[in-house]
Structure 1
Amino acid sequence: MPHQRKTAEIEQQLLIEAIYLRYHYDFRGYAQSSLKRRLQAALTRFDCETLSQLQHRLLHERGVFPALLDYLTVQVSDVFRDPEYFRALREKVVPLLRTYPSLKIWVAGCSTGEEAYSLAILLREEGLLERSLIYATDINSTALQRAEAGVYDIERVPGFTENHARSGGRSSLSDHYSAAYGRVVFDKSLRRHIVFSDHSLATDSVFAEVHLISCRNVLIYFDRTLQDRALGLFREALCRRGFLGLGAKESLRFSSHAPAFEDFVAPERIFQKRGDA
């Protein structure tokens, strides 16, 4: 009914505002339809009938917000996810990255770390890892802890291995991890080149100049204003002629920052910052 729907919309706005005021996590610029679906799932998890009840628990019970954050942030990733994207990086972008004496790469919205390790392995195979530093950032501290551990269920390894091969991998993926007790853990030699850190595209600023930014399947959860803010951060962070990789369903087309970029590998959503931007 219209009245119930309007009440639910008000409850959602109040909940998001409460999160911002109490915990300083800003979801106000996220796509509200996507948040609505995730919050509905959270109601069952927290045994609440309404978002108002969930808000009360959020403000008065320790431990509710970290658990709720897993619903508000999307934790879907894979090693060498979308192999064609990594093949394009390997074949088209890496030859230009070789011209730099040192490399800095930003994985924005790194979730549980799969993409950061994928890039580290790719750079190692291309002989660039020793002069590279990867910043892997996310707003979910629990996800970052899992990412830094680099431990994944062994059942996922066949999919990891197939993706790696399709990306043009030059080694066996097993060269980069060890397996025991139903888990695999990526080598510490990879993690030495990755800095996992909390960073919000909604509220934080640029922290380094980088040569490549990979932010895939993150902007689709933002509204237009927040998308533009994030792309502004990427534009500011990228060095002259630096590269930006987005997700398959993401685009620069409607952003005010679109003129600062040109297509580099259009099918894989890889863009290059213009030299005069």
Structure 2
Amino acid sequence: MSKHESSEGELEKIEITLLLEGIYRRYGYDFRNYSYASIRRRIWHRINLEGLANVSFLQERVMHDSDTFLRLLGDLVIPVTEMFRDPDMFQAFRKEVVPLLRNLPYIRIWHAGCSTGEEVHSMAIMLHEEGLLDKTRIYATDINENALQRAKDGIIPINNMKLYTKNYQASGGAQSFSDYYASDHGIVMLKPYLRNNIVFARHNLVTDQSFNEFHVIMCRNVMIYFNAQLRDQVHRLFYESLAKQGFLIVGGKESISFTPVAERYETWNDQQRIFRKIR
């Protein structure tokens, strides 16, 4: 790398730092400790779509035009999810965690970073089949209000139905997946009773605090975008939010290893990244 290229790279880091600081102060969204490579890629995606020359031009527009910010926010918080994603995890949850939840008089579950709600609704279906949905309150939170609204609406993209049905069957589904939705004029909507015990709310893992005590916290494939400092911060939040003997479930590429709370959990199912709070 030439001296000029090195200098350009440092300048770009400064620009991105200033952009993220500006977003935090102006709009309250904190991306300052997200993975640099990931955030840089998404910022440049928006720069190219806006027809701009560099990060500083994007910063100027974002600071003065909320519509531009919302478009950038859509790039920074990309909802990537599906119903019964990673069916083996749901199957393990059904076999290894549900039997312990049965002993509780009331169950509280937090889906942190729920995106458009597919995994939340998957959990509701599974708990319904296990006879636990009526005594469960599921809290589904995300930073992205547009994604939350889609989750509340309970509408499933019709072109995803084949995949979702396959995932449901592989997860150990006890009925027909078609029992849980209605189709009308090309729109597929989940049955309303599945959402009766779900609370959808905006929550920022970076800046917001714990708001309840939970028996299960599920946060899958969210922290892969965080740097080590932010991951540690969020893990402390989850630990403080879990009831004694509560379960934490993270994504397949995530772990609690090397976090400040690692020794306070036992590995319940390493392959499916299910951990139990022991102290």
The yes-or-no answer on 1:106 pairing with 2:107 is: no
Q: Deviations over 1:178-228 (max 9, x none)?
A: 112322111111111111111111111000111001100011111111101
State the match for 1:264 in structure 2.
268
State the match for 1:56 in structure 2.
60
State the match for 2:47 in structure 1.
43
Q: CA deviation at 1:45?
A: 2.2
State the match for 1:118 in structure 2.
122
The yes-or-no answer on 1:172 pairing with 2:176 is: yes
The yes-or-no answer on 1:221 pairing with 2:253 is: no
Q: 2:132 aligns with which of 128, 132, 135?
A: 128
Q: CA deviation at 1:40?
A: 1.2
State the match for 2:7 in structure 1.
3
Q: CA deviation at 1:44?
A: 1.9
In the TM superposition, what are the counterparts of 1:101-250 in structure 2 within 5 Å?
A: 101-250=105-254
Q: CA deviation at 1:3?
A: 1.9
Root-mean-square deviation (CA, aligned residues, Å) is 0.9
Q: Deviations over 1:70-94 (max 9, x none)?
A: 1111210000000000000000000
TM-score by length of 1: 0.97
The one-letter amino acid paired with 1:160 is: Y
Give the Cα–Cα distance (whole angstroms) in 2 for the partners of residues 203 and 192 of structure 1. 28
Give the Cα–Cα distance (whole angstroms) in 2 for the partners of residues 152 and 89 of structure 1. 23
Q: CA deviation at 1:62?
A: 2.8
Give the Cα–Cα distance (whole angstroms) in 2 for the partners of residues 63 and 152 of structure 1. 26
Give the Cα–Cα distance (whole angstroms) in 2 for the partners of residues 212 and 181 of structure 1. 37
Are the aligned partners of 1:105 and 1:134 in contact in 2 as well (CA < 8 Å)?
A: yes
Give the ranges of 4+ consecutive aligned residues of structure 1 lying more than 3 Å apart after TM superposition. Answer: none
The yes-or-no answer on 1:93 pairing with 2:58 is: no
The one-letter amino acid paired with 2:40 is: K
Q: CA deviation at 1:46?
A: 2.0
The one-letter amino acid paired with 1:104 is: R
134-143 or 39-48: which moved more? 39-48
Structure 2 unaligned runs (5+)? none
The one-letter amino acid paired with 2:227 is: D
Q: Deviations over 1:5-44 (max 9, x none)?
A: 1111111101000000100111111111110111111112
Give the Cα–Cα distance (whole angstroms) in 2 for the partners of residues 49 and 181 of structure 1. 44
Secondary structure of 1:170 counterpart: coil
Q: Deviations over 1:85-116 (max 9, x none)?
A: 00000000000000001111000000111010
Are the aligned partners of 1:153 and 1:182 in contact in 2 as well (CA < 8 Å)?
A: no
Give the Cα–Cα distance (whole angstroms) in 2 for the partners of residues 183 and 50 of structure 1. 41
Task: Calculate percent identity across the aligned residue pairs.
Answer: 45
State the match for 1:73 in structure 2.
77
TM-score by length of 2: 0.97
Give the Cα–Cα distance (whole angstroms) in 1 for the partners of residues 148 and 33 of structure 2. 22
Q: CA deviation at 1:61?
A: 1.3
Give the Cα–Cα distance (whole angstroms) in 2 for the partners of residues 270 and 259 of structure 1. 14
Give the Cα–Cα distance (whole angstroms) in 1 for the partners of residues 260 and 65 of structure 2. 42
Structure 1 unaligned runs (5+)? none
